[in-house]
Structures are given as structure tokens and as C-alpha cells.
């Protein structure tokens, strides 16, 4: 009996979804008939025995309700007008945006890049962590900060407590447990996770010959997805770039450095480290400019000068928030452009008082919600497209030129489209206006019309859009017919 | 005079109805005709018709709706008390109407294989 009830759940769901198409006057009877038929068919002895073929046949039969409902929908004389009404409604507009959100959420795998940017950093003293690089851009072709300079800075510094070094991330192909896997890879100094304050549980780590020998740590996501959570992997050897490395441990679930996309961290003594970027734990109330100045002074003390490029420091939370800042700037720019583009029109409105939010609250509310949803969609899509795949998400390179241009173009497009859409909607019921009527004599105006009138299907009003502006004052005119 | 006029109008209506009905019958596809014949043979609900004809539910139900719309079959909910007594949901049963049976005669001429479908044994 319980199995039958479980089997019937999807069938009932299909019928309920299909019943939305059926005309409301027939819907109740229509649904009752289908549910009754499905109930009777489910009582077949083969289904009660749990025979998969019969259960599948029952599901196929349930899908027939969609065809039946579609027939009912088409048969309904007002179906097309109903469909048109649905497509023009503000609810449809907001639902479409919601659906796009859902698609984005599912396709991206629950928004990994967005979570990286919005969630707190997985470090003990995140606010006091900074990355110091030679140029501010993480380009593997450039040299990093020489290790002698870094060590001299650490010895003489009044601003930093601890320092670790790290290479830039690269893509590697490794062989683990007989499987070939591809992931991002970073070489760092042995104290990297101590400096970051990421605690690796003793049970999850394995002594790989003390601090003098290189040890490999795997990110939790990489271990879980690529190595299927194989607990036997700790202590075994991993072949990376032709070198066998011992897997010393698995990082905690949310721990990452540079990017969640990095799967393998190779830790080795700082002396062996090629100069890359520095991870420093600062004392309280230290600014990035002070860090840069002190590093430059330390370099000068060692007889080294940063000739063509000045060192660049960035606090990790600032780097993490870079996309948000870029997005905010892009939104501001889009607003300025929108005001420049539409401002003159708004200035010429005769009945400004009618447009104030206090008089037309519903109209403004729809506009704000729609625009906000669309902008959020641009924000998320930008992050998932341009951040999720990168390996350097903890520097200002996070908000690279591609992301910046995407946000600028996206925010402008959204705002202009939102304003255009809003102008084409009824001021009372927010539905898109329709039934266009051409105005004027085409012969008098070089075979074009003087303008078009759009009517609200509910009879609320008429919008006149001039195609040929006779004087600078002539603009769209909204005539309210009834309220 | 009035009675004659009324008689003529009724006659005209009947002739016209028969003519339209015949045309409608001719327009029925083989599938719709098969379903009509199945209902006439005593298979009275959707899934039963599906079992007999082997047609999918997405074909049978819209065809039943169309036949019902055209007045060839009539659907009726069974008595709630019977369904309650048997602890099951009530079913909607279909039966052929007089127009449906008349159409079927013409349809069998057009699709002779329909005659081979035997009525359900009761």
C-alpha cells in the first residue's frame, strides 16, 4: 500500500501541473477524472507487485494528461486571448526572471562563485590577511618577489606577524589512485595554512616526513568529486608533473586559498620556494600603502629596487569584495547614463505629479522589483561565467576586465530594457500595452506614419508614441481612460 | 397555417441536422471511429479503452472529449454511493448517444474492420 502511494505521487503531480492548462470551469471535473483513472490503473496486480514495466506504463499514461489538457486549452475559445493576457502580465515578467534565476542556480551547481564572493573567508583572521605581489596582477609569466627580499622584510617588519609564500596557480594533470585527473595546482611554503589559520584536523593529516619534505594537501571538493572521497588516498603517492608526491591530508570542507577551484596544494620549505606572491598576517590597523612602503624599504636595504613595477598589497576581504565594488560602480554608471538618456523626457512631462511614487506606488514597485531581479541576475551570471573558472580569485584580478565589461554592458542593457519595458506598460494594471493603431497619413510623411497608439486591453488608457516629432516638446503621451 | 410552418421548420431542422451529422461522421478519423466503436462495445472508461485499442492516453482522452463535444458519446459520473461503498474514487463512464450509434453505422461502412471488435461480455 505504501509503495502504491509513493508511485502515485509523480502521477498526481503531473495531473495537477497539466490541469493548469484546462479551462477553469472544467478544471475540477477534469482533474477528478484523471486522478480517478490513475487510481484505478494503479490497482493493477502488476503494479502492486512493484513491476517496473507496469509502473513506467502508469507514468506514461499520466503524461497523456498533458496532451488532454492542451486539447482542452486549445478548445477553449478564449485560449489565445488568455495566453496573450498571461504573456503581457507583470506576473509573467517577474516569473520569467525567477525562472532564469532557478536555471542559473541549477546549471552552475548551486552558485559556487557567488558563494565564494558573498560568504565569509574561511580564515581565522581574514581581515588582517593580505596578499603582496609584484604587480597586483597574477600573471605567471612575471617574476614574483624574490625570497631574500621577503625574508629580510619579515625579519625587520613592524607591520606583519607572519608570512608565507605561494606560487601562481597552474593547471596540472595528476595521476592519483590509477586515475588521471586535471585540476589547478599551487606550490606554497609549509606554513601557508598556519598563517591563514586554517586548522587541518589531525585525523585528516598524515606526517609526510616533517617540515623538510614536500607534502601535498588536497582540497575537500577535489577529493570528494575527482577521487570519490577515497579515504585510503592519504599517505599514498600522487604523480604531479612526473614527480611522486605524498598526500599528507585533506583540507576542511570550506577551506581554500586563492580559489576554490584549486585542488592540490604542494607545501614545501620556504627556502625552496620560487618567488611568487606573499601571504602576510598583518598587525592591527595596517594599511596596504604602509605595507607596500615597508616592503620597498626592505628591498632597498638589501640593495634591490622594484624598477618597473611597485609592489602591490591587497587585503583578502577587499579582493573578495572586488566584484561587488565593480558591480556597484557599473550600476551607478548605468543609472547616470539612464538619467542622461531619459532625463530630458522626464523634465518635459506635464503631469509630473501623477508619476510620483506616492501617486503610482504599484507602478514604481513593479519597476524596482523587475530591475532589481534583472540586475541581480547579471551579477550572478557575471560571477559564475568569469570567476568560477579562474584560478586567481583572491586578488584584484578577480574582477578582471572581462567581468568589468560584462557588468558595464549588462547593467546598462538591463536598466535601459527595464525602462523601455516599463514605458510600454499600462500605468494602471502594469500589463504590456497592445492593439497598435497607426496614426497619420503615410503619404504625407515619406511613406511613414506620424505615430502609433497602443491600447491597454483592459481599457485603462492609450499611449501615443510619435514617430515624427513635430516639435521638441512632443513626447509619448499617456491618456488615462478609466481607473 | 401556423402548424404547417412549424412542421416545415422542424422537418428542415431534422434534415439539416442529419446532413450535418453525416458530414461530421465522414470527417471522423479511423482512430476516433475506433474509440467510438470501443465505447459502443461497452468499454466505458478511458483506461479500459486504452487497454482494448492499445492507443496511448494522450490520444484516447482528447478523442473522447471531441466525441463528447460533437454529441457522439456522453460522459456521466457514476453514483458516488457506489464508489464509496467500494472504497474507491468515482469514475466517469462514457456511452454512445443515438447520434453516435447512427454515425457508427456509416463509419463501419467506411472502416469495415471496426465490425470485428466484439462487444464486452457482461
SS (H, E, C) chain B: CHHHHHHHHHHHHHHHHHHHHHHHHHHCCHHHHHHHHHHHCCCCCHHHHHHHHCCCHHHHHHHHHHHHHCCCEEEEECCHHHHHHCCCCCCEEEEECHHHHHHHHHHHHHCHHHHHCCCCCC
Q: Which residue has the cell 397555417?
A: B1
Among B46, B49, B78, B80, the strongest candidate for a mutation testing the A interface, having the largest count of A CBs within 10 A, is: B46
Residues A42 and A135 in one domain: no
Residues 6+ apart with CB under 8 A from A182: A171, A172, A173, A174
Q: How many domains does chain B have?
A: 1
Interface contact B91-A37, CB threshold 8 A? yes
Determine contact: B54 vs chain A, CB below 8 A: no
Q: How many domains does chain A have?
A: 3
The per-residue pLDDT for A136 is: 56
Which A positions 131-190 lie with beta carbon below 8 A of chain B? none
Q: Which domain-ending residue is among A286, A316, A346? A: A316
pLDDT at A118 over 80: yes
Per the model's pLDDT, the better-predicted residue between A273 and A331 turns out to be A331
Measure CB to CB from residue A39 to each of B56, B69, B89 and give the nearest one. B89
Residue A119 counted as domain residue: no
Residues A268 and A188 in one domain: yes
Measure CB to CB from residue A64 to each of B57, B90, B91 and give the nearest one. B57
What is the extent of the structural domain holding B78? 2-115
Beta-carbon pairs below 8 A across chains A and B: 60
- Chain A partners within 8 Å of B61 (Cβ): 64-65, 67-68, 71
Determine contact: A416 vs chain B, CB below 8 A: no
Q: Tens of pLDDT along A239-288? A: 888 888 888 888 888 788 887 778 899 888 866 555 678 899 999 989 99
pLDDT at A346 over 80: no
Determine contact: A68 vs chain B, CB below 8 A: yes
> What is the overall mean pLDDT for chain A?
83
Highest mean pLDDT among A11-15, A168-172, B7-11: A11-15
Interface contact A36-B56, CB threshold 8 A? no
Cα-Cα-Cα-Cα torsion A27, A31, A32, A35, nearest 10 degrees, comes to 180
Determine contact: A71 vs chain B, CB below 8 A: yes
Q: Which residues is A186 bridged to in the sheet?
A: A265
In chain A, % of residues over pLDDT 70: 86
Interface contact B57-A63, CB threshold 8 A? yes
Residues A52 and A178 in one domain: no
Measure CB to CB from residue B91 to each of A36, A67, A75 and give the nearest one. A36
Lowest mean pLDDT among A119-133, A288-302, A393-407: A393-407
Residues A55 and A145 in one domain: no
A479 touches A464 (CB < 8 A): yes
The per-residue pLDDT for B16 is: 40
Spatial CA neighbour of A219 closest among A173, A195, A186: A186
Band of the pLDDT at B72, cuts 50, 70, 90?
A: very high
Q: Tens of pLDDT along A354-408? A: 667 677 888 899 999 999 999 999 999 998 888 754 444 454 445 577 888 999 9
Mean pLDDT score, A172-186? 82
Residues A298 and A204 in one domain: yes
Measure CB to CB from residue A67 to each of B45, B58, B66 and give the nearest one. B58
The x, y and z cell numbers of residue A335, run together, are: 543609472
- Chain B partners within 8 Å of A39 (Cβ): 88-89
Residue B120 counted as domain residue: no
Residues in chain B: 122
Nearest CA in chain A to B55: A61
pLDDT at A340 over 80: yes
The per-residue pLDDT for A365 is: 93
Interface contact A36-B89, CB threshold 8 A? yes
3-state secondary structure chain A: CHHHHHHHHHHHHHHHHHHCCCCHHHHHHHHHHHHHHHHHHHCCHHHHCCCHHHHHHHHHHHHHHHHHHHHHHHHCCCHHHHHHHHHHCHHHHHHHHHHHHHHHHHHCCCCHHHHHHHCCCCCCCHHHEEEEECCCCCCCCCCCCCHHHHHHHHHHCCCEEEEEEECCCEEEEEEECCEEEEEEEEEEECCHHHHHCCCCCHHHECCCCCCCCCEEEECHHHHHHCCCCCHHHCCCEEEECCEEEEEEEECCCCCCECECCEEEEEEECHHHCCCCEEEEEECCCCCHHHHHHHHHHHHHHCCCCCCCCCCEEEEHHHHHHHHHHHHHHHHHHHHHHHHHHHHHHHHCCCCHHHHCCCCCHHHHHHHHHHHHHHHHHHHHHHHHHHCCCCCCCCCHHHHCHHHHHHHHHHHHHHHHHHHHHHHCECCCCCCECEEEEEECCHHHHCCCCCEEEEECCCCCEEEEEECCCCCCCCCCEEEECCC
Determine contact: B90 vs chain A, CB below 8 A: yes
Q: Which domain-ending residue is among A55, A76, A97? A: A76
Where residue B25 sits, what CATH number does that domain have? Answer: 1.10.10.10
- Chain A partners within 8 Å of B69 (Cβ): 75
Interface contact A37-B47, CB threshold 8 A? yes
The per-residue pLDDT for A274 is: 54
State how far Cα B92 lies from the chain centre.
14
Determine contact: B30 vs chain A, CB below 8 A: no
Interface contact B89-A71, CB threshold 8 A? no
Determine contact: B51 vs chain A, CB below 8 A: no
Residue A112 counted as domain residue: no
Per the model's pLDDT, the better-predicted residue between B26 and A403 turns out to be A403
Residues A189 and A60 in one domain: no
Residues A278 and A163 in one domain: yes
Q: Tens of pLDDT along B35-49? A: 999 999 999 888 889
The per-residue pLDDT for A393 is: 42
The x, y and z cell numbers of residue A48, run together, are: 502492486
What is the extent of the structural domain holding A444? 434-480
Residue A400 counted as domain residue: no
Q: Tens of pLDDT along A393-451? A: 454 445 577 888 999 999 999 999 999 999 899 988 899 998 888 887 766 656 677 88
Determine contact: A42 vs chain B, CB below 8 A: no
The per-residue pLDDT for A371 is: 96
pLDDT at B6 over 60: no
Interface contact B91-A68, CB threshold 8 A? no
Spatial CA neighbour of B97 closest among B27, B21, B19: B21
Residue B122 counted as domain residue: no
Residues A272 and A175 in one domain: yes
Cα separation, A378 vs A324, in Å, equals 12
ipTM, two decimals, is: 0.76
pLDDT at A98 over 80: yes
A162 touches A194 (CB < 8 A): yes
B13 touches B19 (CB < 8 A): no
Q: Which domain-ending residue is among A285, A316, A347? A: A316
pLDDT at A153 over 80: yes
Residues A160 and A301 in one domain: yes
Residue A468 counted as domain residue: yes
Cα-Cα-Cα-Cα torsion B20, B21, B24, B25, nearest 10 degrees, comes to -150
The per-residue pLDDT for A199 is: 80
DSSP-derived pairing of the beta strands A262-268 and A179-189? parallel
- Chain B partners within 8 Å of A41 (Cβ): 47
Band of the pLDDT at A202, cuts 50, 70, 90?
A: low
- Chain B partners within 8 Å of A67 (Cβ): 57-59, 61-62
First-to-last CA distance in chain A?
56
Residues A149 and A289 in one domain: yes
Which A positions 439-468 lie with beta carbon below 8 A of chain B? none
Residues A56 and A173 in one domain: no
Interface contact A60-B57, CB threshold 8 A? yes
Amino acid at each position: 500500500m505504501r509503495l502504491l502511494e509513493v508511485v502515485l505521487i509523480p502521477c498526481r503531480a503531473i495531473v495537477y501541473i497539466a490541469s493548469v492548462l484546462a479551462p477553469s470551469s472544467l478544471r475540477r471535473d477534469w482533474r477528478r477524472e484523471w486522478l480517478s483513472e490513475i487510481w484505478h490503473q494503479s490497482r493493477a496486480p502488476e503494479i502492486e507487485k512493484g513491476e517496473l514495466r507496469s509502473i513506467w506504463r502508469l507514468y506514461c499514461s499520466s503524461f497523456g494528461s498533458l496532451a488532454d489538457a492542451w486539447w482542452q486549452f486549445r478548445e477553449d475559445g478564449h485560449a489565445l486571448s488568455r495566453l496573450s493576457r498571461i504573456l503581457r502580465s507583470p506576473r509573467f515578467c517577474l516569473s520569467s526572471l525567477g525562472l532564469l534565476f532557478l536555471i542559473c542556480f541549477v546549471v552552475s551547481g548551486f552558485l559556487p562563485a557567488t558563494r565564494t564572493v558573498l560568504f565569509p573567508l574561511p580564515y581565522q583572521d581574514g581581515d588582517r590577511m593580505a596578499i603582496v605581489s609584484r604587480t597586483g596582477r597574477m600573471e605567471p609569466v612575471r617574476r614574483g618577489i624574490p625570497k631574500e627580499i621577503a625574508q629580510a622584510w619579515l625579519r625587520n617588519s613592524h607591520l606583519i606577524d607572519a608570512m608565507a609564500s605561494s606560487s601562481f596557480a597552474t593547471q596540472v594533470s595528476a595521476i592519483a589512485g590509477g586515475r588521471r585527473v586535471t585540476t589547478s595546482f599551487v606550490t606554497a611554503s609549509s606554513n601557508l595554512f598556519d598563517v591563514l589559520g586554517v586548522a587541518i584536523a589531525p585525523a585528516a593529516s598524515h606526517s609526510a616526513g616533517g617540515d623538510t619534505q614536500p607534502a601535498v594537501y588536497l582540497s575537500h571538493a577535489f577529493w570528494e568529486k575527482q577521487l570519490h572521497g577515497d579515504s585510503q588516498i592519504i599517505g599514498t603517492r600522487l604523480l604531479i608533473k612526473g614527480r611522486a608526491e605524498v598526500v599528507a591530508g585533506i583540507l576542511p570542507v570550506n577551506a581554500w586559498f586563492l580559489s576554490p577551484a584549486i585542488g592540490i596544494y604542494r607545501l614545501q620549505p620556504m627556502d625552496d620556494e620560487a618567488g611568487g606572491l606573499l601571504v602576510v598576517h598583518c598587525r592591527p590597523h595596517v594599511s596596504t600603502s604602509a605595507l607596500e612602503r615597508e616592503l620597498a624599504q626592505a628591498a632597498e636595504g638589501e640593495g634591490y629596487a622594484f624598477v618597473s613595477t611597485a609592489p602591490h598589497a591587497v587585503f583578502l576581504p577587499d579582493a573578495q569584495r572586488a566584484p561587488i565594488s565593480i558591480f556597484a560602480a557599473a550600476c551607478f554608471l548605468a543609472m547616470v547614463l539612464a538619467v542622461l538618456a531619459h532625463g530630458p523626457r522626464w523634465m518635459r512631462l506635464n503631469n509630473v505629479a501623477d508619476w510620483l511614487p506616492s501617486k503610482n506606488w504599484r507602478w514604481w514597485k513593479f519597476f524596482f522589483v523587475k530591475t532589481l531581479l534583472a540586475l541581480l541576475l547579471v551579477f550572478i551570471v557575471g560571477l559564475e561565467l568569469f570567476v568560477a573558472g579562474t584560478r586567481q580569485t583572491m586578488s584584484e584580478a578577480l574582477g578582471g576586465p572581462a567581468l568589468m565589461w560584462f557588468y558595464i554592458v549588462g547593467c546598462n542593457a538591463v536598466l535601459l530594457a527595464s525602462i523601455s519595458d516599463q514605458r510600454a506598460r499600462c500605468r494602471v494594471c502594469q500589463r504590456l500595452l497592445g492593439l497598435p493603431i497607426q496614426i497619420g497619413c503615410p503619404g504625407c510623411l515619406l511613406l511613414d506614419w506620424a505615430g502609433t497608439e497602443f491600447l491597454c486591453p483592459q481599457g485603462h488608457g492609450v499611449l501615443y508614441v510619435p514617430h515624427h516629432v513635430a516639435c521638441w516638446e512632443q513626447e509619448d503621451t499617456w491618456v488615462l481612460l478609466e481607473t | 397555417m401556423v402548424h404547417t410552418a412549424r412542421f416545415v421548420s422542424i422537418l428542415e431542422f431534422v434534415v439539416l441536422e442529419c446532413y450535418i451529422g453525416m458530414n461530421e461522421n465522414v470527417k471522423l478519423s479511423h482512430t476516433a471511429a475506433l474509440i467510438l466503436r470501443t465505447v459502443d462495445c461497452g468499454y466505458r472508461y478511458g483506461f479500459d479503452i486504452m487497454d482494448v485499442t492499445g492507443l496511448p492516453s494522450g490520444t484516447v482522452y482528447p478523442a473522447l472529449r471531441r466525441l463528447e463535444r460533437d454529441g457522439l458519446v456522453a460522459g456521466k459520473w457514476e453514483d458516488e454511493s457506489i464508489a464509496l461503498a467500494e472504497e474507491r474514487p468515482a469514475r466517469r463512464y462514457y456511452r454512445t448517444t443515438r447520434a453516435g450509434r447512427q454515425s457508427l453505422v456509416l463509419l463501419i461502412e467506411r472502416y469495415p474492420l471496426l465490425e470485428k471488435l466484439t462487444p464486452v461480455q457482461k
